[in-house]
A = this chain, B = another copy of it.
Amino acid sequence: MDSNNIAKRKQNNKAKRCKVCFEPSGLKTEVSLGTVLLEAARKAGIYLSSICGGDGYCGKCKVIINEGQFQSRPTTLLTPDEVRENVVLACQTKVLSDMMVTVPKFHSLETSQILMDTDAHRFSELAGEPAGTFKFDPLVQKLCLEMSPPTVQDHTADHERLYLAIRKYIDASIMQTGFRIMQKLSKVLIQANYKVAVTVGRRGGTTEVIEVEPGNRCETNFAVAVDLGTTTVVAHLIDLTTGRTVDTEATYNSQINFGEDYIRRIIYAEENDAFDEMQNRIVHDVNDLIVTLAERQKINFQDITAVICAGNTAMVHFLLNLDPRRIRREPYVASAGFVPPIRAAEAGIQINKRGLFYCLPSVAAYVGSDIVAGVLTTRIYTKKGISLFVDIGTNGEVVLGNRDWLACASSSAGPAFEGSGVKHGMRAGTGAIEKLTIHGGGSVEFKTVGDAHPVGICGSGLLDILAELFINGIIDRTARFISDGQPRVIEGEEGWQFQIVPESSEHREIVITQADINNLLRSKAGVFAAIWVLMEATETGPEDLEAIYIAGGFGNFLNVRQAVTIGMLPDVPLEKIQFVGNTSIAGAKTVLLSRKALETAEQIAKSMTYFDLMSHPGYMDEFIRACFLPHTDLSLFPSVKLVAEKV
């Protein structure tokens, strides 16, 4: 075989596609021959545990090959029995044909990190379209300019001619042009006979000429808005000429192997000098999303001219490789809260190489730009009455205020409602129990995401369980199991637990343990204590609250009644409580599409008073008082009093 043939064969192999099907989910993907199985799983939307990130030494990414040819590197992490049963490490195995692979359940239950891309989609769908109360005036826009070419009488230089033409369309008193654009300007103008498409971007008070192209490219200008979550990264593709959301995509934050919350990731990065790697991972995730969106919509990267992001302060620091170390230790400060627009390429984000990267402003180390986006989206800064905004994720951020003042705080109560620290907890992915009722006779009715086999419990389901156990007298006001005469309360390895789904040939057993309940209780107590500290500090009573907005990744069926029943939210009439979904990306889109909205977001961030709960003298007391169902002080929860007294 001569070298030409070898090259040809390599080409053929590369071109050869293999179908890989994963059981029991049935998710499928198609990959090139030779692709690593871990990568194929990722592509199919399957999250496999992998602490080492694919280096083959943690032994977590075990799967079973049912059918198909593969090639695995030898490893000491598999027993001879496992090897006999075709168990492999996915990260050490190459796909050599169509395959059928079984993903053991431990991947999707024990780590509580198992969400599929299809589910992440659901988060993205929660976001409403931009509020529409701001004038359409995108941060980056493409203008179609028809200039008259210079003559001996009209000898204005090309660059000034361009500025004059731009200023006929938009308000741009201070302008700047990138050097490479200046160098090619005359050539483009002459070739296009002075009919050009000019992309301009706003950078602070300056309007920058980002790109100059022939005039037939006026209608193609896109941006990507990103919600930079600790667990999920959501991206929306926006047509900047219309403001329309063209497509959405989401993926997992691939930093997750370095810690479930960002504090652990900062520690990891610090101990392992892995800040660059942290950045690479999150940048890679964002680029992956952009590639997926661009390919699906058949858009040239050249035509994506802006990326805007909102997220918690740590995640923004990781993305830009700003120093996040003092976020986790005194004095708990960010390196930057207001990140000026930079060239996206500088951060490694792959769009038009002169495209801009924007970031919404943040308030403090623990109140990020996602919260500012939430305030912008819910418009509580415009209202006369007082509103409460609660974003429940890894931390529970709380904002209280109106058009005159805004107070905020962050409770580090832990991510129990995200499924973390809960035995069968999971995010709102396929098979997650998202809605649950316990009937009088002790029978349990539930609904799962995608009406699939139940595989775990997501945020709204956990909230329901805690409330239903309480209402039905299965746990007492201290959230301890009352075992007497409760058929589903059984003793497990870790003490008492409530059986939601019994084990069967089809289902794994799904339970909620006393430890789970304690975690959930602490989470809700943390959130309520944060709310109460802000309310007391501002002398706001529950009767003063005109609206409560809950944002976060609970799922679609958040039962706001139950949130009051367990004492997570103040006891107000239910019609005042509204679940608003992903306000982070909604706010990012609003800002992207209006300069005025960016200014407003900056004003919001500047005007918010941050309460540091760690150093707040009353917080710990409030927290302890809230570690009851609904609270030690029942007078705060008149609507729950009857239930509580019965228990």
Contacts and interface: CB of A to CB of B under 8 A. Distances in A.
A155 B186 contact: no
Contacts of A323: 183, 185-187
A271 interface: no
A346 interface: yes
Nearest to A184: B323
A612 B153 CA distance: 8
A293 to B, nearest CB: 24
Which of A159, A174, A183, A364 is the most central at the interface, judged by chain B CB atoms within 10 Å of its CB?
A183
Given A151-B331, A182-B320, A186-B322, A160 B346 contact: no
Contacts of A160: 336-338
A614 to B, nearest CB: 8
Interface string A602-640: 000000001010110000000000000000000000000
A186 B326 contact: yes
Given A182-B320, A320-B182, A322-B183, A340 B176 contact: yes
Interface in A145-198: 149-152, 154-160, 173-177, 179, 182-183, 185-187
A447 B338 CA distance: 66
A322 B362 CA distance: 41
Contact of A347 (B154, B174, B179, B362): B179
Which of A155, A334, A339, A614 is the most central at the interface, judged by chain B CB atoms within 10 Å of its CB?
A155
A467 interface: no
Given A182-B320, A322-B182, A335-B185, A615 B205 contact: no
A175 B340 contact: yes
A573 interface: no
29 contacts: A152-B331, A152-B332, A152-B614, A155-B612, A156-B337, A157-B364, A158-B335, A158-B336, A159-B334, A159-B336, A159-B337, A159-B338, A160-B336, A160-B337, A174-B204, A174-B205, A175-B204, A176-B203, A176-B204, A176-B206, A179-B342, A179-B346, A182-B335, A182-B336, A185-B323, A185-B336, A186-B335, A204-B206, A206-B206
Interface of A: 149-152, 154-160, 173-177, 179, 182-183, 185-187, 203-206, 320-323, 326, 330-340, 342-343, 346-347, 362, 364-365, 610, 612, 614-615
Closest 9 CB pairs of A and B: A159-B336, A174-B205, A157-B334, A157-B337, A186-B323, A186-B335, A150-B333, A179-B346, A150-B331
